[in-house]
Amino acid sequence: MDKAIIEKLEEHQILQFLGSIEIDLPRCIVDVGGNLEAEISSPYVAKGWRSLIVDPQERCVESLRKKFSAHPNASVVQCACSNEPGELKLFIGLDGPGSEVSTLNSTSDPWMDRVRSAQFEMVTVKTLTALLEEQDFPSEIGILKIDTESWDYNVLLGLDLRKFRPKIIVTEEYYWDVQATIGKHTYLDDNDFVNVGFIGYNSIWMDRACGVRHSLSMLRDWLVAVDRYPSAVQGRGELTRLSPYLKAKSLHSSPVRFDNVLVQAEGLDAMICEQSTRLAVTVANFLHEPVGRLGAQGAPIAVSYHWLHMSGKAAVWDGIRTYLDREIGVNQMVKLDIVVRAPDRPGSYLLVVDLLEENVSWFGPRGGISASQAVVVVEAPSIPLAGAGTSFQAGRDAAPSGNRRTM
């Protein structure tokens, strides 16, 4: 499915981000929602970390036990996690057994109605606290990763953070349920976890005892921009400063890497062939130095995009450029509208929004965190498409890229 391809890109970026944080972590990882491959926890299993991978689907558990059979440090448990023990219906995703989108969520919303089937199976549900106690798991946890298709808040409510304390929590966001999103963020905030940003549809939190500043500013502003978060919800403090914990290699390798520059774009579900639309983009800079309008070689810095086929092959590599008109300071972000033009043929595509230094390189291959999302491109319909944006002719603020290709 399209979502699975996006998740692979996000998982790679999450691992890259986690690898850039220079903190001595307890060598323990808990992965709730391992699916078939447990991509986030696998590198840590290989490093010998004590690992607990949890999934309610039999096919996923069989796959994971086979994958980690040579690693006695890894335990795979078949069950679901929630705030209360018992049995619940696990709805199978439309991608079938071993589904990437199976969920305990029975409510109706545009995403669930699209990916969830009516087929379900009854599964055992435990609180995460009880499961960790059964496994005699260490109380200090390096990384807790949760990906349960809109059920993450319930999983967290079932964890006694006084008994089991992660240093880092990676949790999938589900913006269709605004109240659960607010509840989860408030819960983590109240329990002294700091939101240090997000990658795709995942937010990353760190124990405040690690020394990071408290802030929800970056997440709140982005959610307001995509109409997924009430503007009345207030964060506190400045943007989180991660600089004391980032490895020096991210600043001094050659060519210069951009591990800590993050691009996030609003949701865009569908477009019409050759349609142009504006897309709201946020660029955040967590480097030790500003990102200027010009790069180190004097070339202008722009926001642009690629259109990829779902196979990963480029359909359109060089999108329309929208050049930065201001400097992005350290631990600051800017919001801007870019112009996106759809491919000329219908189909399912991956839209990747990224920064580039003109005629030099894109930021993504140099470590930058780009924004990726699946977009369906269709022939002109008889009725407007929800989320397709407003068509217009590109203005002067957006320069076409011509035929040259920046690698």
* CB of 233 closer than 8 Å to CB of 212: no
Residue with the larger pLDDT of the pair 316 and 361: 316
Looking at domain 254-378, its CATH superfamily turns out to be Immunoglobulins (2.60.40.10)
pLDDT at 198: 67
Give the type of residue at 93: G
Burial class (CB in 10 A: 0-12, 13-18, 19+), 72: exposed
Tell me if domain 2-245 and domain 254-378 are identical in fold.
no
Name beta bridge partners: 121.
90
* Residue-wise pLDDT tens digits, 117-132: 999 999 999 999 999 9
Percent of the chain with pLDDT over 70: 72
Residue with the larger pLDDT of the pair 209 and 133: 133
Enter the pTM of the model.
Answer: 0.58
Give the type of residue at 199: I
Residue boundaries of the structural domains of the chain: 2-245, 254-378
- pLDDT value at 390 more than 80: no
* CB of 225 closer than 8 Å to CB of 35: no
Residue matched to tokens 């951009």: 258
pLDDT at 116: 87
CATH for 2-245, options being 3.40.50.150, 3.30.70.260, 1.20.1250.20, 3.90.920.10: 3.40.50.150
* Residue-wise pLDDT tens digits, 226-276: 444 333 333 322 222 233 333 332 222 222 334 455 565 666 677 889 989
